[in-house]
Amino acid sequence: CKHQFSRLAGTSSVDYSGFDFSKWLLRTKNDNRKDAEIWRNATKPTERQRLEVAHGVRWSELHRLQYFDIVRCTIIDPMHNLFLGTAKRMLERWVADGLIDDKKLVAMQKAVEKVVLPPDYTSLGTKIAKGFPYMKADEWKSWCLVYSPVVLRDVLPLPEFKNWIEFVNACRYFTKPSVSEEDIEKGHKCLEEFCKGCETLYDLDLLSPNMHLHLHLRQTMIDFGPVYGYWLFSFERQFIEESWKGDFVRRLLKPMHALACFEIFDKFTTNNNNTNTNTYLSHYFSISEYLEASQNLSMIIRGNEPLTLSALPLKTRPLSFMPKHEYDCLVEYYQAAYKNPQISGCKDVIDDSPFVNDWIEMVKSVDLLGQSYKGCIGTNGRGSYIQAYFTERTGSEHAYVGEIQYLFVHNFRPTVLL
């Protein structure tokens, strides 16, 4: 953009304040090219230095590409911008200002021991009590989204805590598995409020160019989509295999089987486990029906709905018996879903009635629209937590939160009573 920055009074440090986005003048491709050409045509180093400070632009051979928008095609990496940048910077400021000391760090460590960490997040172990040493980006992500809202409530003064939650909410909107345009706008507004709050709550030397870039993230997401497509988690730790399976590498590149033909993409694929694979028809999948099912309690969910292509093939384990008490629930579920009380189980088989066998194939995980769902059995006791709507016998509707115990495939051919 064309935002101009002054110097902090009495120092050589830059004043990065000014977060009223409505007053920003956004730079265009032509603006950038014009300033770059002026810099290129300058003959003296001192003149180039002056122009660089004034406009923040140097000439690049990329400017010769007429089809390339050097402004909008310069992507801001959300991993560095949000988690390795501001999340880390804020914690360092709280410690420097005395808002967090060694005693509070120990208390924070005790508080996080009670937190149930979702399976796709990295545990911090004892790092909080030790002062957050050697933190990686995925650990800062866990700190920001999961731990900090819990442990900072009784540590920071209320104004500082509320201001921090604006940043947390922005990160939550931007890192959702499925992001809408409304989410992007809400996240942008939260970041604007957070940055404005930092101007009044802290000394201005806290503000950084990284914070200024927060308000440009919205345009990056509008142009290039959700952050999972381009943030650099997948390449953290020199791309050590298995280091960040949950994002771009596994979700986007692995389903593209054609890419396996190219040697350059060898590191983007993972070896197949020694498990059975199952494929199920998915060409009838409807995103509108999928989204409606999460809100419309009148829709009957029978468990045989089509899956997305990204969920296939399902990796299943060998056939096994379903535990009795869970099998009994499955029989009752089929009776209710198909409105047929004649559906029978193993112990009460009725002639000519649909029969529910107790053989299942467990599934380690299933990917739906970018979100991986796992059961706690076989995953170190950390299954995905979901919220499900239920209609009680009284007709009242309630939402319940629960942990997925395990996922499974079951074959059943009902006779539907009309």
The answer to the question of residue 69 being in a domain is no
In this structure, the answer to whether residues 14 and 86 fall within a common structural domain is no
Give the burial class of 296: count Cβ atoms within 10 A of its Cβ; 0-12 exposed, 13-18 middle, 19 or more buried: exposed
Please state, in angstroms and as integers, the Cα–Cα distance from residue 62 to each residue in 3, 36, 69, 151, 216, following that order: 23, 11, 9, 47, 21
Task: Kindly report the average pLDDT of the chain as a whole number.
Answer: 84
Mean per-residue pLDDT, 199-207: 96
Mean per-residue pLDDT, 356-369: 88
pLDDT value at residue 292? 83
pLDDT value at residue 258? 41
Comparing 11 with 417, the larger pLDDT belongs to: 11
Does pLDDT of 197 surpass 60?
A: yes
The residue from 14, 36, 64 where one domain ends is 64
Retrieve residue 227's tokens.
Answer: 């952050």
d(CA 117, CA 125): 11
Taking alpha carbons only, the member of 387, 395, 80, 68 closest to residue 210 is 80
In this structure, the answer to whether residues 237 and 191 fall within a common structural domain is no
pLDDT value at residue 281? 47
Q: How many domains does the chain have?
A: 4
In this structure, the answer to whether residues 87 and 197 fall within a common structural domain is yes
pLDDT value at residue 289? 83
Q: Tens digit of pLDDT for each residue in 394-412?
A: 888 888 888 899 999 998 8
* HSE toward the beta carbon, residue 9, CA cutoff 13 A: 1
pLDDT value at residue 392? 79
In this structure, the answer to whether residues 352 and 333 fall within a common structural domain is yes
Q: Tens digit of pLDDT for each residue in 230-249?
A: 888 877 655 444 444 445 44
Mean per-residue pLDDT, 41-57: 93
pLDDT value at residue 263? 45
Q: Tens digit of pLDDT for each residue in 177-188?
A: 788 999 999 999
In this structure, the answer to whether residues 387 and 329 fall within a common structural domain is yes
The answer to the question of residue 399 being in a domain is yes
In this structure, the answer to whether residues 343 and 370 fall within a common structural domain is yes
In this structure, the answer to whether residues 148 and 250 fall within a common structural domain is no
Rama region for 182: left / alpha / beta (φ>0; ψ in -120 to 50; rest) = alpha
The answer to the question of residue 415 being in a domain is no
Type of residue numbered 40: R
pLDDT value at residue 256? 43
Q: Which band of pLDDT confidence, cut at 50, 70 and 90, is reported for residue 23?
A: very high
The residue from 200, 229, 258 where one domain ends is 229
Q: Tens digit of pLDDT for each residue in 285-323?
A: 888 888 888 778 778 888 888 888 878 888 889 999 999
The answer to the question of residue 31 being in a domain is yes
Mean per-residue pLDDT, 34-46: 95
| 204 within 8 A of 227, measured Cβ to Cβ | no
In this structure, the answer to whether residues 92 and 23 fall within a common structural domain is no
Q: Tens digit of pLDDT for each residue in 140-163?
A: 999 999 999 999 999 999 999 999
In this structure, the answer to whether residues 205 and 304 fall within a common structural domain is no
Lowest mean pLDDT segment, chosen from 35-44, 50-59, 304-313: 304-313
pLDDT value at residue 380? 67
d(CA 83, CA 45): 37
For residue 15, the cross-strand partners are 6
Give the burial class of 86: count Cβ atoms within 10 A of its Cβ; 0-12 exposed, 13-18 middle, 19 or more buried: buried
Comparing 253 with 137, the larger pLDDT belongs to: 137
In this structure, the answer to whether residues 94 and 156 fall within a common structural domain is yes
In this structure, the answer to whether residues 208 and 84 fall within a common structural domain is yes
Retrieve residue 166's tokens.
Answer: 């604006």
In this structure, the answer to whether residues 168 and 251 fall within a common structural domain is no
368: enclosing H helix or E strand: strand 365-368
Does pLDDT of 191 surpass 90?
A: yes
Q: Which band of pLDDT confidence, cut at 50, 70 and 90, is reported for residue 351?
A: low
Angle between helices 29-41 and 45-55 (to 10 degrees): 160
The answer to the question of residue 356 being in a domain is yes
Q: Tens digit of pLDDT for each residue in 105-126?
A: 999 999 988 888 877 788 888 8
Q: Looking up tokens 């142009």, which residue turns up?
A: 223
> What residues make up the domain containing 60?
6-64
Q: What is the pTM of this model?
A: 0.76
pLDDT value at residue 41? 96
pLDDT value at residue 242? 45
Q: Residues of the chain with pLDDT > 70: what percent?
A: 85
